[in-house]
Structure 1
């Protein structure tokens, strides 16, 4: 198809990138971006671009990627818990200042011939365009005004974004235990000599520290809409003083919030199509917001080029993009639940905790992590069961003996007779899960459906049982999922596993 005029609502990464790719694909088409904000003002700090995203951008538009990489900062990753740290290589990840990212994308969009309009709020219904690309963010007015079947799930934890005016040497994950509870920092360097600090906590800690009150104050009359929670920032820079190295925390519309996961039954209506956060979101702990938006842009333009009309193109765009988006949303959901329950794991040695972190969503196997970070995994394995093997890692994990209280087991698959606990739920931290755990009176064998998502959920519930009751736990699962079970054992999610010959 050959569009005559395309309007893009939203001048974030997804909207700008879609506009450039559209203009490159259709030089005769008039493409205009409408952004309600000003070009020199943006919300946020640093943005992460992982290796896979960089490969996709390289294939779609190498010129833009080259400038993004040139302005970015590469870094590894460190976790520090109770005075001990572990470092793993991750230098394919780059941190880019959001201001730099937008400047690069604006420059390349204009270079391609895209017109940019700033400072004016536009609505899809009032635009004279063949196609309207709605990239207007998580609070998309376009989505709310349409019939896209939107559903929004709000997380339990609270978080805020802030920054610091110095570059960390690595990305760092570190908790601080206070008189109110635990706060966890996710921090990483980005271009311009600065670092992002994302800090999260649970609701009880948030209320104990009085941050429910500071949040309410910001919602009062006379408070500028862009004001930051300065009381929270001053407290947080005090408790994270060791990580900040004498620097303060910088706010930019910094307020406590809960993560909203957006899902839509439909991504298009008439001549309007949703892109990026307007259509879907995935928790920040998998670093996916910018990735999904820019990859949506690639997928949308490819679908338009392959289709005779907008309706066919939008259907093809959704058909090709939805599976990968939903897969990432499921990984992000598991990751969000893991981070919201993170403080319960602080008794685990930091190396084993790093294994737990890497395997938390089922996306990175123990074998794969051992291949990329052999020193960290070797230490975790020694803590778990002695000198690690040269051969089959998974089988070695299953073969390690266990002492639990006054009971000893020759390996992790010799499961005694335990009370069976059938589990078929989606959230192992839900009220339904709470009720199951409240009924545990002794050792349990956690059973349920044979599919992989159900097994991963069982492992998480078994971890809660271990940590909250001290009971001996075993998880039943198909032998084909031994890799997941081995990661669960090293991560402290279960004591034993019972293998079945069921098909996954």
Structure 2
């Protein structure tokens, strides 16, 4: 099969790896519009479950990804002068540049052609070789999807809050939240390490706060200086880093949630952010893109007729995304309604931060929800204890019965 993959991000590269491993005779080319190594981005997060999947499908790239990742198992929330730390699941961070470098090197080693500085706008305009399968892995702004947006049923909805994606030399030792109150409302950041030298720092606030602080008119240098002052405690004297001047600086954005009614048209199929997006606050974007690649490769292996393979891929991934897309919507809504939770005692506020994916939380008074959740947690702990105790009690009774018979 001849495959043309438009977009050299994690989804497109990993798909090319999996297809080559399934059948080395596949003719696969990845077309990337930017120069090699020029991608913008700081770190990406993932969890142990993804690493286990990567190890199952391509152990070599999985080992390299894990070796170049940093990890944490705690979360910490700073609110005014207080801080609350809680244990959590093991999380991983890796630089986006390093992740792409690993996947590109692995793809090349398997015989995939990588063509950089090659932008594709239209399948039929002569700049893309004919192919049995064309994969649109060119992101939320996909040019290939946009050419056929009515067919795909593209739906893009902008969130209310403003956010900016930055880096910092402050290496956090946990997934870190910091909430700062200003005269114009609350502003907050999410920080996590992705290398021994750097962390990602995403800053978010309501549009009223963004305008009130003058961030809507500040140039990048002045904006970063103001943010460094606001988050001085959590940054501990370290700077925030934006994009280079050549990259156009780091913009403030509204998150765009993308869905599509269908993900394929003839031999064209959507992958990763070209097909769907989920709010960054659940940290699942890269994971979902790689899982898309795994599902598409499996569908192409299991179904020899292309339309059947693409339909199977779409059904499987849409079903898998339902709960995560719901969680992402409620997570974004939690931050958009931050004043509802921010004045709770720190331990309660952080507990509800961890419950922000709940569809019930917006409709229950926060303190009541906290008490209900705490009671449910204690009940579940009791159930686990009883399940653990049950076999031990049974063995003791059985042993005593044997003793009495003797």
1:122 alignment partner, SS class: coil
The corresponding residue for 2:26 is 29
Pick one of 61, 66, 69 that aligns with 1:64.
Answer: 61
- Equivalent pair of 2:13/2:107 in contact (CA under 8 Å): yes
The within-5 A match list for 1:164-243 is: 164-214=168-218, 229-243=220-234
Pick one of 241, 249, 258 that aligns with 2:240.
Answer: 249
Give distance in 1, aligned partners of 2:365 and 2:251: 32
- Equivalent pair of 1:156/1:258 in contact (CA under 8 Å): yes
The corresponding residue for 1:406 is none
- Equivalent pair of 1:74/1:91 in contact (CA under 8 Å): no
Taking a change above 3 Å as real, the CA distance of residues 113 and 90 of structure 1, as seen in their structure-2 partners, is: farther
Give distance in 1, aligned partners of 2:172 and 2:192: 6
1:154 alignment partner, SS class: strand
The corresponding residue for 1:261 is 257
The within-5 A match list for 1:386-405 is: none
- Equivalent pair of 2:170/2:239 in contact (CA under 8 Å): no
The corresponding residue for 2:387 is none
- Equivalent pair of 1:46/1:196 in contact (CA under 8 Å): yes
2:152 alignment partner, SS class: coil
Pick one of 277, 280, 284 that aligns with 2:276.
Answer: 280
Taking a change above 3 Å as real, the CA distance of residues 356 and 262 of structure 1, as seen in their structure-2 partners, is: same
Shift of 1:343: 3.6
Shift of 1:348: 1.1
- Equivalent pair of 1:356/1:488 in contact (CA under 8 Å): no
1:136 alignment partner, SS class: coil
- Equivalent pair of 1:124/1:272 in contact (CA under 8 Å): no
- Equivalent pair of 1:124/1:132 in contact (CA under 8 Å): no
1:280 alignment partner, SS class: coil
- Equivalent pair of 2:6/2:134 in contact (CA under 8 Å): yes
Pick one of 145, 148, 158 that aligns with 2:147.
Answer: 145
- Equivalent pair of 1:162/1:251 in contact (CA under 8 Å): yes
Provide, for residues 425-454 of structure 1, a one-character-per-residue CA deviation record: whole Å limited to 9, x for no partner.
Answer: xxxxxxxxxxxxxxxxxxxxxxxxxxxx5x
Shift of 1:170: 1.4
Structure 1 residue runs of 4 or more that deviate by more than 6 Å after TM superposition: 488-491
- Equivalent pair of 2:120/2:143 in contact (CA under 8 Å): no
Instruction: Report which structure shows greater RCO (CA 8 Å, sep ≥6).
Output: 2
Shift of 1:211: 2.1
Shift of 1:78: 1.0
Give distance in 2, aligned partners of 1:7 and 1:256: 33
1:259 alignment partner, SS class: strand
Provide, for residues 453-486 of structure 1, a one-character-per-residue CA deviation record: whole Å limited to 9, x for no partner.
Answer: 5xx1xx413438x9xxxxxxx89xxxxxxxx982
The corresponding residue for 2:389 is none
Shift of 1:359: 1.4
Deviates more, 1:30-39 or 1:79-88: 79-88
The corresponding residue for 1:47 is 44
Deviates more, 1:277-286 or 1:187-196: 187-196
Provide, for residues 47-86 of structure 1, a one-character-per-residue CA deviation record: whole Å limited to 9, x for no partner.
Answer: 0011222222222222111111100100122112122222
2:138 alignment partner, SS class: coil
Taking a change above 3 Å as real, the CA distance of residues 88 and 273 of structure 1, as seen in their structure-2 partners, is: same
The corresponding residue for 1:94 is 92
Pick one of 358, 373, 376 that aligns with 1:487.
Answer: 373
Gaps of 5+ in 1: 218-228, 363-452, 467-473, 476-483, 492-504
Taking a change above 3 Å as real, the CA distance of residues 288 and 63 of structure 1, as seen in their structure-2 partners, is: same
Shift of 1:488: 8.4
Gaps of 5+ in 2: 244-248, 378-406
- Equivalent pair of 2:139/2:272 in contact (CA under 8 Å): yes
1:155 alignment partner, SS class: strand
Give distance in 1, aligned partners of 2:334 and 2:170: 29
State the Cα RMSD in Å. Answer: 2.0
Pick one of 317, 320, 337 that aligns with 1:341.
Answer: 337
Give distance in 1, aligned partners of 2:376 and 2:209: 29
Give distance in 2, aligned partners of 1:39 and 1:271: 27
1:49 alignment partner, SS class: strand
Give distance in 2, aligned partners of 1:39 and 1:301: 25
Taking a change above 3 Å as real, the CA distance of residues 167 and 485 of structure 1, as seen in their structure-2 partners, is: closer
Query: What TM-score results when the alignment is normalised by the length of structure 1?
Result: 0.69
